[in-house]
Amino acid sequence: MKRIVIFLYGVVLFYTTLWLPMAALVVSPSWYEVGCRWHGRCVLLDEGQAPRAISELTSFFLHKKELADPGWTLKEKQHLKEARLRMDIATLLAALALIFLFWMGKKSVVRKGARVSFSLLLAVGALLPFFAYFWRHIFHPTLFSNRLWLNTPADLSFYLMPRSFFFWTVVAGLGVSFCLNFLVWFLAGRILRDEVQEETLKQGGIMKKVALVSLGLILGILASQGYRWWRSSGETRRLETFETQQVVSKKYERNKSHKIGLLGYKEGETLSKREKRFSPDLEAMRKALPGNQAIPAVDENEKWIRKEADKARRELYGRISSNVATDEEVNAYYYEQETLAQDSIAMLKWILDNHSHEMGKDDLARHTFLLEQFKKRLKAIPVRKERAMTRIRKHRSKSQG
């Protein structure tokens, strides 16, 4: 029975000392500002928008105000409300846990319970190299019954709270928790010194080993992150073609004996041959169409952002196709489809307006054809959305019936 009490005390101590610092960071504006400096996504927002959104978000978590900024999407607001509710429950449990810790705080139980808590901290630390998988496939599916947590570039959370922000929040929480547990263990040992001097010395040796293992884990994580940064920064930039959000129809492709990209060159051609073909002024286009997602990504970070956004869209579309998506998820998906189609139309119009006199017949025909295709796609989106809504609601009613 005593061992069960000690184990339970250790679990409660682990939960309390880990949750409290992490909760404090999540509601701290300074922590988000630090995050903006290291992950760099906040610079993609309009000037002054990040500080306003951070202030509003932290006040929202503290129940001081609601999310009123027009930048917050409906899907995002719904998810943040669900996240706040879970934070409230977790904070209440932490308060009850503190009462339990003081109530069961016998000296010998505290010291041995701290050792259990240390073990759990090490187990969580060992999961950090697999944080991306844990975050996407275990943590969120366990806590939430929907996919509203999948952020895209249309969401403010995408810029304020990328996965790397939460990764370092967990790392910081583990570090503070380790210090708090060590303090509890140390103070309990000082109080018991006269009674169990020999046992204290023995456990002190164990704690040194625990500290060394923890330090090794942290250094390994930092080395891994540093290596990934070094590799991404050392990659050379390659010539890119425009990324369109829809594959050109098969009818148009059958009229071509080879595949041609939007920039107007064949796949497999050398750079010297490509340079002879039509290519728009990318720099001028980015200045004329800021934030346009159809224009090629500028750097590796932007490529990664678009890759993550595309992954989130595919997952949402999978839920829609399976008839399990919520109304908010359907609205979010087709809102993004409209945005992507509008961006492609704006890009193609800009190219035709500024470069039509430079184009050959093939280039002009291809860009004109793509523009018409995207206009048709944009016009069809409301119909596709309504069909999806009708199909999902019918499936929902059958399941409930």
> At residue 304, does pLDDT exceed 70?
yes
* Position 394 pLDDT exceeds 50: yes
Strands (E), 66-165: none
In the three-class reduction of DSSP (H, G, I as helix; E, B as strand; rest coil), residue 290 is classed as: coil
Residue type, 291: G
Contact (Cβ atoms closer than 8 angstroms) between residue 184 and residue 110? yes
| Residues facing residue 260 across a β-bridge | 266
User: The pTM is what?
Assistant: 0.53
The first and second tokens of residue 306, run together, are: 């678009």
Looking at residue 267, its amino acid is: E
State residue 213's pLDDT score: 53
Q: How confident is the model at residue 327 (pLDDT cuts 50, 70, 90)?
A: confident
State how far the Cα of 241 lies from the Cα of 238, in Å rounded to an integer: 10
CA distance linking residue 19 with residue 189, whole number of Å: 24
Q: Give the pLDDT score at 220.
A: 57
Q: What is the pLDDT of residue 191?
A: 67
What is the pLDDT, as a whole number, of residue 221? 52
The CA distance from 169 to 18, in Å, is 11
As a whole-number percent, the residues of the chain with pLDDT over 70 amount to: 77
DSSP structural state of residue 64: S
How far apart are alpha carbons 252 and 362 in whole angstroms?
12
**H/E element holding 62?**
none
Predicted confidence at residue 203, as pLDDT, reads 47
pLDDT of 323 > 50? The answer is: yes
Concatenating the DSSP letter of every residue in 164-229 gives HHHHHHHHHHHHHHHHHHHHHHHHHHHHTTTTSHHHHHHHHHHHHHHHHHHHHHHHHHHHHHHHHH
Residue 231 has pLDDT above 80, yes or no: no
Question: What DSSP string describes 335-385?
Answer: HHHHHHHHHHHHHHHHHHHHHGGG--HHHHHHHHHHHHHHHHHHHHHHHHH
Q: Is 265 left (phi over 0), alpha (psi -120 to 50) or beta?
A: beta
Number of neighbouring beta carbons within 10 Å of residue 381: 15
In this model, does residue 109 exceed pLDDT 50? yes
pLDDT tens by residue, 179-204: 998 888 888 777 655 444 444 444 44
Does the structure show a pLDDT above 50 at 313?
A: yes
Task: Tell me which range, 94-103, 150-159, 203-212, 215-224, is most confidently predicted by mean pLDDT.
Answer: 94-103
Q: Which of 22-36, 37-51, 224-238 reaches the highest mean pLDDT?
A: 22-36
158 has a pLDDT exceeding 60? yes
Q: How many whole angstroms separate alpha carbon 56 and alpha carbon 162?
A: 17
Give the confidence band of 217 by pLDDT, cuts at 50, 70, 90: low
Kindly tell me if the per-residue pLDDT of 251 is higher than 70: no
- Please give the distance of CA 49 from its chain centroid, rounded to a whole number: 19
267-295: buried (b, 16+ CB within 10 Å) or exposed (e) per residue? eeeeeeebeebbbbeeeebeeebeebbbb
**Residue 290 pLDDT > 60:** yes
Nearest to 128 by CA among 160, 164, 171: 171
Between 259 and 336, whose confidence is greater? 336
pLDDT more than 90, % of the chain: 16
Q: What is the mean pLDDT of residues 256-275?
A: 39
Q: What is the pLDDT of residue 57?
A: 94
Alpha-carbon torsion 286, 248, 374, 76, what sign?
negative
Average pLDDT, the chain: 77
Quickly state the pLDDT bin for 209 (edges 50, 70, 90): low
d(CA 148, CA 328): 8
Top-confidence residue, 298 or 222: 298
Q: Distance from first CA to last CA of the chain, Å, rounded? A: 48
Between 367 and 248, where is the model more confident? Answer: 367
The full set of domain ranges for the chain reads 2-234, 250-400
Q: What is the pLDDT of residue 314?
A: 83
For 115, residues 6+ apart whose C-beta sits below 8 A from its C-beta are 10, 185, 203, 206
pLDDT, residue 376, reads: 87
Q: Residue 287 pLDDT more than 70?
A: yes
Biggest CA-to-CA distance, the chain:
93
What pLDDT does residue 399 have? 78
Q: Does 53 have pLDDT greater than 60? A: yes
Residue 18 has pLDDT above 90, yes or no: yes
